[in-house]
Amino acid sequence: MEFERTTDNLIKNLRVYITDKPGYLGKVLTTIGMHGGNIGDLRLIKRAGKSNLREIEIYVRDHEHMQEILHAVGELDGIQVASVSDAVLDLHRGGKIEMKSRVPVESASDIRRIYTPGVAAVCRAIEKDPELMYDYTYVRNTVAIVTNGTAILGLGDIGVRAGMPVMEGKAVLFSKLVGLNGIPILIDSKDIQTCIDTIVNIAPSFGAIKLEDFRAPECFAIEAALKEKLEMPIMHDDQHGTATVVLAALLNATKYVGDDLRSLSVGIIGLGAAGTGIAWLLKSFGVQTIYGADIAEDARQRLSAAGGTPLPLMELMQKAQVVVTTTGVPNLIKPEMVRHRQIILALSNPDPEIKPEAAIEAGAAFAADGRGVNNALAFPGLFKGALAARAARINNRMKIAAAQAIAALANSDRKELVPALLNPDVHQRVSEAVERAALESGAVKKLSEM
């Protein structure tokens, strides 16, 4: 029985006592494999007399599949099942982030410096010059990660509390990749004005605002209102983070087939937050001809207002030289719809609108899915660079600079679209490029305002 490991699989941790003699561990692993389990990590937990307690990470299709494996393992001689748990839930137990002090607190003297009475001097300094808050507090390195839970991953409107694990995950990436503090903020309201007012009121606590998983079309109105009211870096990641990484991918995809992206017609299928953000950034980059397809009339109107041309799906596929899909609909694009020498990025995960190999077989010059096109390649460096420059906003020039930095680090010998997320150079290069673009484009606050 073959079993492919995908992002939809369950990951289970099976703990078993195994007789400490040759062949017993092998029997367990063979049994798991024979019943279709895909084995990940294997750890020795402890030695217990004549047995060893081992933890085996297993990828399974569903709970019934795991029960089948448990039953088979339980029938083996010299083997005793101790426990089975969900590896992902185990990792999240207690949350993934915490706040810690950066200064030692070991004496009464330390207390007097960090709190009363010493802290009063810092408060008075900031009272006289509010910009000193960026020098003397954590604000200059802190981003609010804000959601109302209406568009969490591919799960949709699952509620604001259910979105917290995603917000924590973004905070972990901020910390690990660029050393920023990401603070999750949950707004338990679907009312646009309530969301806007809440964010405006808490904004002084942060150096930047990252909007996360707000559904379309509300996300457009919320972001636009915040940019009018606040002079600080604000970015809706589902729009602009996605658009930045897609631009990077398209720069390489077109390079590999010998074309200039600006001279090609681009069709975007799915004009939600991601698709609309892609269209806007490509227009700013210099792509002259942008088509779009979506079942929603308001989405098509947004594209028209931005200078794009709405088309029915079939007509778009006939006219566009580059096709980017963000619909979440598996197999939407049929092989017979693919044009000769088209470039296709089918970004929906885990099941793309057309599999890359099928698109190539149908005549595409280049095709890829969305497995490597990850927002996390862009947003950490975008915010790091914006904060380093004391930028009043994140503009298109900064996003384009980030995309070009990302594209430049992909391995052209392997025809990578984008580099690996954990490539240590990526986020530093993006930060530097964004900071430079902020300064060059006038996105920073004037000295008289600082």
Q: Which residues make beta-bridge pairs with 413? A: none
Give yes or no for a contact between 142 and 183, defined as CB atoms under 8 angstroms apart: yes
**Max CA separation in the chain (angstroms):** 79
d(CA 85, CA 58): 10
- Answer yes or no: 59 catalytic: no
Catalytic residue among 12, 17, 59, 170: 170
Cβ neighbour number for residue 375 with a 10 Å cutoff:
22
In 129-272, where does DSSP find H-type helix?
A: 133-136, 164-178, 192-202, 218-229, 237-256
For the CA atoms of 253, 154, 394, 400, what is the dihedral angle to 10 degrees? 0
Give yes or no for a contact between 368 and 417, defined as CB atoms under 8 angstroms apart: yes
Give yes or no for a contact between 302 and 220, defined as CB atoms under 8 angstroms apart: yes
d(CA 300, CA 296): 7
Handedness of CA 322, 399, 394, 349 (dihedral sign): positive
d(CA 360, CA 342): 9
- Answer yes or no: 291 catalytic: no
Catalytic residue among 21, 50, 115, 176: 115
Report which of 411, 441, 383 is spatially closest to residue 142, judged by C-alpha positions. 383
Q: Looking up tokens 């299928």, which residue turns up?
A: 269
d(CA 322, CA 262): 11
Q: 218-229 and 237-256 helices cross at what angle (nearest 10)? A: 100
At position 59, the amino acid (one-letter code) is: Y
Q: Which residues are catalytic?
A: 115, 170
